[in-house]
Each structure stands twice: as structure tokens, then as C-alpha cells.
Chains A and B, each alone.
Chain A
Amino acid sequence: MKMVKNAVGRMVPTEINGEKVVPFMGIGKHRPTGRKHAPTISTAIDYPADGDKRVPSLKEALIRSGLKDGMVISTHHHLRNGDLVANQIFDIAAELGVKDLVWLPSASFPCHKEIIKHLESGVVHHIEGSMNGPLGRFSSEGKMKGTGILRSHGGRYQAIQDGEIQIDIAVLAAPTADPFGNGHGLEGPSACGGLGYALADYQYAEKVIVVTDNLIKFPAIPMQIVGNYVDFVVEMDKIGIPELIVSGTTQITKSPDRLLIAELTAKFCDAAGLIKDGFSFQMGAGGTSLSIGLFFHEMLKARGIRARFAVGGSTQYSTKMLEDGCLDYMLDAQTFDLEAVRSMRENRQNHPDISIFHCYDYHGKGNFTTMMDVMILGATEVDVNFNGNVVTHSDGYLLHGIGGWQNCLFAKCTILPLPLFRNRIPIICDEVTTLVGPGELVDVIVTERGIAINPKRQDLIDKVKDAGLPLKTIEELKAEAERICGIPEKPEFTDKVVAAIKWVDGTIIDVVREVKRK
């Protein structure tokens, strides 16, 4: 395999799974040419005039979609760890003797560990998407036949739209659907809120199968999945396990140390003048992020000001902000708890579902992230140059997907609230194990032991320097962690590339290698 050094100094291949790839050239340096991908033209002649596209089983739908060796099968992850559909696809493929499939999920969860047996038997050749938990471990040990490809959520949309990967069959779970193929996630036993990750799949796939356990009469409104793109509709007893799809309630952290980090983050944002009337923000559904949101909410309420919009995962906390009048719009690509699902159902006007195309696609005519004032993100590691890693742990194992992380780095102020060490493992290192995001886009690291601002953001440093915050250099934070934890050894790798990390523009920013097991 030919390897070249890319713009962030990482050695990356020029070819993956037999396809030519472009090494990362720097932020905003790669300019795509040509036209977007398009599926074959279809005609209404071939579809039932009564609009009833139902077929009796997923197996029949897959056969009628022409399932065969080497195809690319896509799924979305809105059913999260409660997904009962994805595993079935590959069980059916195995039963039919189909080999070398590529699975293109928008994310994988521990429930998808069942796919391992299909990777072992050769039914699935490799995964392009995220390899979380057990699947990540499997790939990291070099056991996957092909090379995995990890993309950000926006990068997945970009790759599908650009034809970098062409979906043969999209199998889209819809908590509610009609016989024509319109679908949404607002109602039904497996309700999950929005279906914002499914857009690229149904727009660009050659064949689209909608799977539901709540079939209603035409029309299913809102049309989060548009039936005009759909080939087959399959009714099933159960597409998901409700309690594993959405949390009953997402919860703020109870850990005093995490709360301290959240409080420091909120104080930093305030000192930097980011919390002002009409500002915008995005944060995840983890306990620390939710606590930061709660601090924001308190500040807005106390000052009688409002945030204009928030993007992202909605939760009971963002719902409360919305319904309290502290937030004008919740633009929601993924709905995390039952309260938020209710909100999306009831607050159609100011809590709309949006897609990944809207918020993240780098090959669109702009996207939402660059407009956002405050972006709260996580990381498994950050290095002294503020480069970030979200996919591997310091021991070298691939354990997480990129999520929207890379896309979100383009916001006006990106803040990473992180504990300085986790279980004796310092978070700040000399060089991240896997470089997923370049340091020039990471602005602030907030830890329980101090805040490090990227020296490139002198404007932020000037704003907060007299605010009484515990400002430190990133080197000082690193030294403090190492005093407490000691200096960790480096994991050892073989030469084998088990997965490639794509940047938001489709170029290769880094690779993950096989971990040498001791």
C-alpha cells in the first residue's frame, strides 16, 4: 500500500479497498469538481397506482431490490441501541449466501455486535460508518476483511452525495409509515423523534426499503422520509426496543467533578461575552453537556434574554429552554429523550426536524455550523497543538464514531470540556493517537484543573484574562496530569491499516492501525 504524508503530517494511503483516495490537504484546500451522484431514473409505470408498496417481508424486499455480492447497504441509527432492523438484514444476506457486503450505517451501537459473525464469515466485507464498542475492538485487532472508513455525520452525507460511496440498498426503519413509503419518528411504539440522518440514504440510494412497526393509512405526516423515493414498505412486529431507543429522561451529571467542569465552561462562555441575546449553541446529550446547558438556561432566565437557535440533539433540558421562552428555535437532527420527542410532536413551529444536510454537509452551499456561536464537544484525547481525537482511546483501540464532531469544529467558538485524566490516563498528550480534527479549529479546553485557550485565539484570551478564571497553558495542564498519573507508555501498532478517518471534504486525515496485542 502506498503511503503519503498528508497536510497534518500523518502517513495515509492513496488507495483504500481498491479505490483511489485523496490525502488531507489542509482546511478548505480541497475543491471537489464534477457533478453529484444520482440514482437511476425511475418511472411511476413501475410502481403501484394505488400507492401500496408493501411487500410481505424484509427478505422479499431485499430479494426484489436485487441483493447480491459486494453491494453497499445503508441504515440510519435513529433507533440507537434499540435497533432490531440492521442485524436482520445481514442475517437474511447470510441465509441467501450473499457475500462481501459493505455496511454503511450512520452510526453503530453495542447492539450491532451481532454483525461480527457476519464479518467473520465474509457476509460483510467492511464497515463504513462508525465502529463503536465491540465492532471497534474487532476492527482494531485487524480482524475485518476490508478497511473500515470512518466519516463524520456531515462527511457521510457528503460522500453519498458526491458518489464517493454509492448505496445499492437503503433499509430505513420508520417508527411510523404509510404504504406509499412516507415515514416519520414522532409516533408509534418505537418513536424516536426526527429522522435527520436518513435523508442522504433515500435521496441517493438505488433502492429504498422502509421498515415500520406502525403502519398507518396514507399520508404519514410529517414526511420525514418522502415516499416518492421509496421502493418497498415492510411491516414488522417490532423495529426497536423502546427503552433502548430514547432514554426515558436524559440526566445532568451528578459527579461533582463533572459539574465543576460544566460550571467552569459556563463561566468561560460568559466571560468571553458569548452568552448574549440572540446567540446560538450546540451541545451533546452527555451529563456534562446537559449541565452546561442548564447553566446557560439559568443565565438567560436571570438576564431576561433568549438564545436564537440551538442545533443538535434535543433533550428534556433543551425542551424546557424552548418552552420557557429562553430559546427561539430548536433545530433537531436527533432526539434523545421522550420529552424531546413530545416537544417535536407538539412544537412543530419552533422545534422542527432538520437533516444532516442542513447542519453539516461541507459540500453544500454553506451549512449551519459556521454560524454557531458556542459549540460544546467532547474528545478522547487532545494534544499540545490542540489536535483532537474522538475515535480511538490512548490504548490505540477504536471505540467510537466521529459523530458530528468534525463538522462542529467549524463553529465560532469550539469548547471541549474534558476531565484532565480518566482512570489514570491523561487526556492531554504530545501527539494524539488518531488525528481526527486539526488543532487550528479547536479553541478552548476546559478541565477541572484549568482552562487552556488555543494561542491562535488571542481575541478570546484578551476577553477572559481578567475574569478570575483558572487560565493555564495546555503544556501546564499536561504536566499537571502527568504529575498525578505518571507518563503513559505508547500503544504499539502493526503496519496494518484497519480503518481510515475521512475529513469533512472526503480527504484522508488519518488512519487507525491494528493494535499489537500483549
Chain B
Amino acid sequence: MKIAYAGQHEKADRSDCMMTLSLKKSGGPDITINSKVKLLFEKAIRKTITDVLNAFSIEHAEVTIDDNGAPDYVITARLEACIKQLIDTELSFLPEQLEQNTIGTSKDRMRRSRLYLPGNTPKLALNAGLHGGDAIILDLEDSVAPNRKDEARILVRNSLRAVDFYGGERMVRINQGERGLKDLDAVIPQHANLILLPKCETTEQLLEVDKRILDLRAEHNIKHEVWIMPIIESALGVINAFDIAGASKNVVALAIGLEDYTADIGVPRTGEGKESFFARSMLVNAAKANGIQAIDSVFSDISDMEALRENVLASKALGFDGMGCIHPRQIKVIHDAFAPTEQEIEKARKIVDAFKEAEKKGLGVVAVGSKMIDPPVVKRAVRVMELAGEKI
């Protein structure tokens, strides 16, 4: 008899459970519940498991859950993952969808920080949105073990429906190739806001993903746009960055992944970053030439906030608009470092005021003092004001 399992049950795996399932010929469902919260949630857990079995028309089965306080949407994801290991089915068991998880995001919203969440680790997702990042990334790629990809996809799908990310843009990093397309099938109908496409090297890769998203949007009647952020992680990708950025109107940002990039060009990644200077500048220019955002790589030393701050300031100086985070405490440091200085804000306010004044008077030309101001300068000033959280 084949036994399916999904999930985790180590002491540190809070909000998760290990689900074990085997199908039987008779005897009805036999559900064993081992849970840290058994005294308070035994009935609820039993009902949840029974509901899922019924939804898949499974009458006879042996189910064991070793639970460490998993919320409902995790329990159902784990059981569905087990079921799909044993039977071939197109059905899904979807948790209730939060209203706030059905809306789209704007193309040029701020993307200073985006917090990476390993897709198969529910304990990190529940509170992720509380830390005020501009976005969260549910990651299906590198942070998920190859043999856990299928269960992670189901969990991420459920998270997109049931977890409140408190206003953070809901991004998903999909896998490469065929598996990535399967990831799209699961997450696009759940209103993912943006898809991160890893190791993007060619426009063909980008267009394949773009097309699948369009098809899925049509099929599932998704009205809002779904953006794409290709991650450039190789020498070829860097060289093709301009074309990739311009390949679809849905590309809103280019991100760079320096671990893979430095490996690709055969050098170690250094703190100073001299080895990636060309790639980073190339990426910024490819993005800006297409009118989209440039996003820097993550900074991996989570204990050194001062080094992170310096890193962000260097990024900002190169023209980047944001960077990835791997720990919630990095968010504030990144936002602070990307924030404009007092002088920048002062200057921007003068420009914006002059623009409004000119508009009011119906003048075609904007001037601050004796200096003529071009439209892109106004646009940048508006951006500075937005970043600073100032009223315009």
C-alpha cells in the first residue's frame, strides 16, 4: 500500500503539520490526530480533514496528522498534496478567499523592499505582511526542496487566498521551465500580483510566461494586470536585459540575482561588489531605458544592519529602486536608506510646487527661479515626494 505524506513536523515547524495518507478498500475514514492543540482544536481538525476527503470523494482512508498548530488552510493544503500523490485528479480544495486578496496593483507602485518567504514554510507567512514591506514573495524556486515542489505549490496557492499580507504586493517566484508554467496554473487564478521569473536569459522565456499568464487570466476572468519581474542571474541575461525588459508591457521591473551571476562569470561575490558593477549598471540602464524599475539583489548577512544600510545606499546611488530582503528586520533599514534626504525633498517640493503653479496658470513651461524644468525632472520630483511620504 502506498503511503503519501506532506508537510513537516519538527519542533521548529510551528503552524505546520505532517500529514500521512493511505487509501483503503473499506472501513471508512480512519483519522488519527496528534496535535499540540488537540484539547482545543481536535473537533475542528477532524472536520477539516473529513471535508477534504469528502471533496475528493475518498471514502476509505487512513489519515494521520502530526500537528504543530497549523491553521486550516495549511491542513487542507497538506492533505490535498497527499491525495494528489495517490490519485489523479483535477479537483482542488480551496480555502475561503479574503476580499483583499483579489485586487491588483499598479505598475509603478513602490517596490523598495520585497520579503522572500520559503513557499513551503507556513510559519513565516502568517506574520510576513506585518513588517511593512512593499511586497512579499512566496518562493517556489530555490527555497523549496525538489521533492517538495508539488506540496509547496498547493500551499502557496492556499496562502494567496487565505493569508492577509496587510497591503504588501503579493509576488510569487515560480520555477524555471515546464514546472514554472505549472506553478502559474496554480497561482494566477488566485490573483497573484506579480510573477518573478528566475534565471531569465532570453525574451523567449519571458514571452512564454507572459502568454501563459494572459491565457490564464482570460480563462479565469482575472481583470487586474499580473506583472512580471524577470530576475537576471547570468552573463547572457545581463547582455539581453534590454530586450527582456522591453519584451512585454507587463514587465514592471528587472531584478538581479548576484549569487548565480557571480558563479556564472566565475568569480566570488565580494562585499565591495566590483565584480558585479557592470551587470548592475547594465541592468539599471536596461530597466530605465524601458521606463521600468531596477531591483537589486538580496543582502544576505541578516545580523549586520550597518553593512546592509551601506549596501542600500550604494544601490540607490547606482540607480536601483529597491532590493530583496530575507529577514523582516531588513525592511526598515532598506526603506530608510532609499528614502530621499532632506535636501532632496526640499528641492523636489520646489519643483512640484512650480509645476502646479504653472499648470494653474496654464503655462507650458515650468521654471524654478530662472531654471527651466523638463517633464522628466518633474516626474522624478514627484517620485521623491512619494518616497518621502510627502503630500503632493
Residue among B39, B40, B43, B329 making CB contact with A256, cutoff 8 Å:
B329
A448 contact set on B, CB distance < 8 A: 127, 130
- B76 adjacent to chain A (CB < 8 Å): no
**B109 shortest CB reach to chain A, Å:** 21
Interface size on A, residues (CB 8 A): 21
Interface members, chain A 435-494 (any B CB < 8 Å)? 448-449, 484-489, 491
CA separation between A484 and B69, bound complex, in Å? 11
B40 touches A488 (CB 8 A): yes
- B217 adjacent to chain A (CB < 8 Å): no
User: Knowing A424-B70, A484-B71 touch, does A518 contact B38 (C-beta < 8 A)?
Assistant: yes
**A433 shortest CB reach to chain B, Å:** 11
A selection of 12 A-B contacts at a CB cut-off of 8 Å is: A257-B328, A260-B127, A394-B40, A395-B40, A423-B36, A424-B40, A425-B37, A484-B164, A486-B41, A486-B71, A488-B41, A489-B43
Residue of A395, A422, A489, A491 with most partner-chain B CB within 10 A: A489
- A259 adjacent to chain B (CB < 8 Å): yes
Chain B residues with a Cβ under 8 A of chain A: 14-15, 36-44, 68-72, 126-127, 130-131, 164, 327-329
Chain A residue nearest to B47 (CB atoms) is A486
Chain B residue nearest to A516 (CB atoms) is B39
- A396 adjacent to chain B (CB < 8 Å): yes
Residue among B44, B69, B127, B130 making CB contact with A423, cutoff 8 Å:
B69
CA separation between A254 and B295, bound complex, in Å? 27
Known: A423-B14, A484-B126, A518-B42. 7 other contacts (CB 8 A): A257-B328, A395-B40, A423-B68, A484-B71, A484-B164, A486-B41, A518-B38
CA separation between A518 and B33, bound complex, in Å? 12
Residue among B42, B69, B131, B328 making CB contact with A424, cutoff 8 Å:
B69
B40 contact set on A, CB distance < 8 A: 394-395, 424-425, 488-489, 491
User: Knowing A423-B14, A486-B71 touch, does A260 contact B41 (C-beta < 8 A)?
Assistant: no
CA separation between A193 and B37, bound complex, in Å? 39
A422 contact set on B, CB distance < 8 A: 69
B39 contact set on A, CB distance < 8 A: 395-396, 489, 491, 518
Chain A residue nearest to B40 (CB atoms) is A488
CA separation between A256 and B41, bound complex, in Å? 27
B70 touches A256 (CB 8 A): no
Residue among A394, A395, A489, A491 making CB contact with B44, cutoff 8 Å:
A489
Residue of B36, B42, B127 with most partner-chain A CB within 10 A: B127
Chain A residues with a Cβ under 8 A of chain B: 256-257, 259-260, 394-396, 422-425, 448-449, 484-489, 491, 518
Residue among A256, A257, A424, A487 making CB contact with B37, cutoff 8 Å:
A424
Chain B interface main SS type: loop
Chain A residue nearest to B67 (CB atoms) is A424
Residue among B43, B69, B130 making CB contact with A425, cutoff 8 Å:
B69
Chain A residue nearest to B36 (CB atoms) is A423
CA separation between A424 and B38, bound complex, in Å? 11
B164 contact set on A, CB distance < 8 A: 484
Chain A residue nearest to B38 (CB atoms) is A518
Residue among A256, A423, A484, A485 making CB contact with B328, cutoff 8 Å:
A256
A424 touches B71 (CB 8 A): yes
B38 contact set on A, CB distance < 8 A: 518
A259 contact set on B, CB distance < 8 A: 329
B42 contact set on A, CB distance < 8 A: 489, 518
B127 contact set on A, CB distance < 8 A: 256-257, 260, 448
A425 contact set on B, CB distance < 8 A: 37, 40, 69
Chain A residue nearest to B72 (CB atoms) is A486
A488 touches B126 (CB 8 A): no
CA separation between A174 and B31, bound complex, in Å? 55
B70 contact set on A, CB distance < 8 A: 424
CA separation between A395 and B70, bound complex, in Å? 17
A257 contact set on B, CB distance < 8 A: 127, 130, 328
CA separation between A328 and B309, bound complex, in Å? 34
CA separation between A82 and B260, bound complex, in Å? 50
B43 contact set on A, CB distance < 8 A: 489
CA separation between A34 and B196, bound complex, in Å? 76
User: Knowing A396-B39, A491-B39, A518-B39 touch, does A424 contact B15 (C-beta < 8 A)?
Assistant: yes
A423 touches B329 (CB 8 A): no
**B323 shortest CB reach to chain A, Å:** 18
CA separation between A395 and B40, bound complex, in Å? 6
B71 contact set on A, CB distance < 8 A: 424, 484-486
B37 touches A449 (CB 8 A): no
**B248 shortest CB reach to chain A, Å:** 35
A256 touches B327 (CB 8 A): yes
A485 contact set on B, CB distance < 8 A: 71
A518 contact set on B, CB distance < 8 A: 38-39, 42
Residue among A396, A424, A449 making CB contact with B41, cutoff 8 Å:
A424
CA separation between A487 and B37, bound complex, in Å? 12
CA separation between A451 and B69, bound complex, in Å? 24
CA separation between A260 and B327, bound complex, in Å? 13
B68 contact set on A, CB distance < 8 A: 423
B130 touches A260 (CB 8 A): yes
CA separation between A423 and B42, bound complex, in Å? 14
A484 contact set on B, CB distance < 8 A: 71, 126, 164
CA separation between A448 and B39, bound complex, in Å? 26
CA separation between A256 and B132, bound complex, in Å? 12
**B77 shortest CB reach to chain A, Å:** 15
A260 contact set on B, CB distance < 8 A: 127, 130-131, 328
B44 touches A486 (CB 8 A): yes
CA separation between A346 and B142, bound complex, in Å? 53
Chain B residue nearest to A491 (CB atoms) is B39
CA separation between A165 and B15, bound complex, in Å? 45
CA separation between A422 and B39, bound complex, in Å? 14
Residue of B40, B70, B72, B327 with most partner-chain A CB within 10 A: B40
CA separation between A256 and B329, bound complex, in Å? 6
CA separation between A394 and B41, bound complex, in Å? 11
A486 contact set on B, CB distance < 8 A: 41, 44, 71-72
CA separation between A424 and B131, bound complex, in Å? 20
**A290 shortest CB reach to chain B, Å:** 16
A423 touches B37 (CB 8 A): yes
Residue of A395, A485, A487 with most partner-chain B CB within 10 A: A485
Residue of B43, B72, B130 with most partner-chain A CB within 10 A: B130
B126 contact set on A, CB distance < 8 A: 484
CA separation between A396 and B37, bound complex, in Å? 12
B72 contact set on A, CB distance < 8 A: 486
CA separation between A66 and B69, bound complex, in Å? 52
CA separation between A422 and B126, bound complex, in Å? 12
**A420 shortest CB reach to chain B, Å:** 9
Chain B residue nearest to A423 (CB atoms) is B69
**B240 shortest CB reach to chain A, Å:** 37
Chain A residue nearest to B43 (CB atoms) is A489
Chain B residue nearest to A486 (CB atoms) is B44
Chain A residue nearest to B96 (CB atoms) is A483
